[in-house]
Structure 1
Amino acid sequence: MTSTTVQRHRAPVVDAAAHRPGLGAALSWESRKLRSQLRTKALLVGAVLAPLAVVVIVHSQPRPPKDTLFGRFATDNGFAMALLVLGFASQWVLPLLTAVVAGDIFASEDQHGTWKTVLTRSTSRSTLFWAKTAVAVAFALVTLALLAASTIAASWLVVGHQPLTGLSGQVVPAHTALALVAGAWASMALPIIGFTCLALLFSVWSRNAAVGIAAPVVLGLVMQLVGALGGIETLRPFLLSTPFEAWHGLLAAPRFTGPLLDSLVTSAGWSVVCLTAAYLILRRRDITGG
C-alpha cells in the first residue's frame, strides 16, 4: 500500500475529528437539554416559592424554635429568620437540590443508551465531560442564588428588618445585617460546588440516577452526624459538611474569617478529587454497548 493510499484512507477520520463540535456547542446543547426538563423548571420554581411558605409557617407559630441557631429571634426578626432557614437548608436541602441534576446528568446517558451515539458522532469524551460539569455547577449556583434571594426577601417582607442580635450578643444594624446575611448565604456556594462534583462522581461511577441523587445526600447526612461527635476534631475540617457552618464567624464579635478560608480549601479539595475520579472513569469506560 502506497503512502498516497494511506493518506486517502486517513483523511475522512481527520476531517471528522476536525468538524466535531467544540466546548461551546456542547455547553449550548447540554443547557438546552436541562432547560427542557420539567423537574429542572420545578426545582427553580420551588427555590423561589418554598422559602415564602416556610417563612410564613414559622412566623405564624406561637413559639419560636429556640433550640436552633437564631431560632429564638426568628419570629421577631427577618434577618434571624433568613439565617434559621439557612441552617435548616444546609443540612440536606442544598445537597439534594444540586444532586437532582448533577446526579443524573451522566447517568441519563446510560439510562437512554445514548453514549455510543453521542461520543462517536457528536463530540469527544473530554468535551462532553466538562460541558456537563459546567452546566451542573451553573445550575447549582443559580438555584442557590434564587433560594437565597427568595428567603431574604420573604423574611424581610413577612417578619421585618429590625437590627439583628449576633452570636456574641452584639446588636447588628439592619444595613450591616443584610450584608452579613447575604454573605452567609453566598458562602454556601463553596460546599455546594463540592457536593455537585460528588454527585457527578456517583453519576458517572454508578450509571444509575437514583444512586447519583441519593448517595451525596446520604453521605452528607452521615458526615454531619460524624462531625457532631466528640473527639474527632482532627477529622472534622476535612468533612464536606463542615463548610456549611463557616458563616458563623461572620455573625460573631469580633468577626473571624478563618472558617471561610478552611471552607475554600476543603471544598476545592473534594471538588478536584471527585472530578478527577469521574473523568478517569469516563475516559476508561467501554461505550461500545450503547
Structure 2
Amino acid sequence: MCRIRKLKEEVESLFMEIIEGRRAAALQAMAGHIDDEDGQQKNDYYGQDLLGLMLAEMEAAKLEAAPPLRGQRRQRQQLGRMYTSRQLMDECKTFFFTGHETTWLLLTWTFMLLASSPTWQHRARQEALLFLHQHGDMPDFDMLSRLKVLGMILLESLRLYTPATLLAREAFSSIKVGDLEIPKGLSVWVPVLAIHHDKTIWGEDADEFKPERFSEGVVKACKNPMAFMPFSFGPRNCVGQNFAMMEAKIVLCMLLSQFTFHLSPSYRHAPICILTLQPKHGVPIILRHFRP
C-alpha cells in the first residue's frame, strides 16, 4: 500500500506540474497578445487537446463568475463549470490511464489470438500490406475504417477478452425488468465478460475465436446486438472507443507488415481480472521478420 500511495503522489505531482505549466505559458502568451490582429481565440493559447480545452473553460468560468467592473455589465451568463486544479488533474488521470490500459490490453490479446491462428494472421497481413501500399504510412480515420478484416479481428478480440469485465450503473428510478424489481438508487453490475461468452446469445462456438461472426457488423453478430458492450452503452460509454480502435489498427498494420509472430512455448494461458482482464503471466511472442 505504501508503494501504491507513493506512486499515486508522484503521478499527481507530475500532472499538477503539467497543468500549472500549461496555464502559466498560456497566460504569458495572452499578456503579449491582448489585441490579436488575427482574431486568435483565447482557447488557442491553452491548446486544442483535452487539457487545453478544460483549462480554457476553467478560465472562462472564472471571468464570468467575477463581478463586473464599474460602468460595465455582464455580457453573458456563466458558460463553464468552475473546475479546480484538482478536478482537472483527476480528469487527466482518467483519460491517461484508461486510454493506455484498454489499448495495450486490446493489442496484447489480439496478438495472442493471431499468433494462435495462422489463417487469420495471414488474412490480416494481406489486408495490411494492401492498405499500406495504397495509402502509405499516414492514413486518416476514413481510410482506417475500411480495414474490414482487422476490424472483425479486433471486435472478436474485444468480445473474448474485453478489458472491462464488469460495468457499474445506478438506477435513477425504480424499474421492473421481467420479474425483477430494481429500486431507485440501487447499484447494478453488468457482467460484460459473461454476456460475451453466453452460448444462448452467441451460439455453441461462443468460446472460439471466430472473427467472421462480425463480417456483417455488430448488429448481425449475435441474437441481440446489445449483448456486445466492450465500450459500454449510452451517455457514459467510452469516449475514446474510436481512438482506441484506430490506434490498434495502425499498430497492427505496422507490425503485420514487418513481422510474423508465434506464441512462445513458455506461454501459459491464464486470464486474470485485476480491475481489467489481463494475462497473468504475460504473452511472450516470437517475432520473425516477414519476407514477402
**TM exceeding 0.5:** no
Compare the two structures and name the one with the higher helix fraction. Answer: 1
Kindly name which structure, 1 or 2, has the bigger radius of gyration based on alpha carbons.
2
Compare the two structures and name the one with the higher strand fraction. Answer: 2
Give the structure-2-normalised TM-score. 0.27
Larger RCO (CA under 8 A, 6+ residues apart): 1
